[in-house]
Structure 1
Amino acid sequence: MLTLTENATAIVKELTTAPDAPETAGLRISSAPETGFAVAATPQPEPGDLVVEQDGATVYLDQPAAEQLDAMVLDAGVDETGSLQFGLMAQG
């Protein structure tokens, strides 16, 4: 199952715990034919999504993404231009 680094956990929680966000808010990763994956904050999972919860961070994965990311670790950070970047690496 997908796991999150400490950085990714903090960023996902920051993106999804705004005062007006529902308790079911999470980061959704879905498979995208052209780009590999699409990542977006969402108020709730879509039907059939796999729910990954880690240290208060919630990530939703559509079925193809869940299969592709099963043994991966999600990392996140902010680059030198201030843009949010997500990365994946194999679980060690």
Structure 2
Amino acid sequence: MLTLTENACSIVKRYTDHPETPDDAGLRITSTPEAQLAVTAADEPVAGDHLVEQDGARVYLDPVAAQQLDDKVLDAGVDETGNIQFGLLAQA
């Protein structure tokens, strides 16, 4: 199952730790027809999503993304212009 680095957990929680944000909010990773992955903010899961919850951070995966990311680690960081960058690492 996908795991998250400490940086990824912090960034996901940054999106969802607001009083007006629904309790089930998190990030959602979906597969595209081009076999790429897309990351978006989500107020709640979509039917069929897999939940990865780690240290208070929620990530929803569509079924195809869940299969693709089963042995991966999600990392995240902020670049010099303030943009969030996500990356995938192999699990050890």
| Whole-Å separation in 2 of the counterparts to 1:13 and 1:82 | 16
**Which consecutive residues of structure 2, in runs of 5 or more, have no partner in the other structure?**
none
Q: Secondary structure at the match of 1:38?
A: strand
The residue type paired with residue 46 of structure 2 is: E
What is the alpha-carbon root mean square deviation over aligned residues? 1.0
**In 2: Cα distance, 1:17 partner to 1:37 partner:** 24
In the alignment, structure 1 segments of 5+ residues that lack a partner are: none
3-state SS of 2:15 partner: helix
User: Cα distance, 1:35 vs. partner?
Assistant: 6.6
SS in 2 for 1:70: coil
1:13-57 per-residue CA deviation (whole Å, 9 max, x = no partner) reads 011122100101010000012371110111000000000100000
Identity %: 64
Residue 4 of structure 1 aligns with which residue?
Answer: 4
Q: Which runs of 4+ in 1 moved over 4 A?
A: none
Question: Within 5 A, what are the aligned runs for 1:76-91?
Answer: 76-91=76-91
Question: 2:39 corresponds to which residue?
Answer: 39
Question: 2:62 is matched with which residue?
Answer: 62
Q: Which amino acid aligns with 2:64?
A: P
Q: How many residues align?
A: 92
- Check if 1:28 corresponds to 2:25: no
TM-score (normalised: structure 2): 0.96
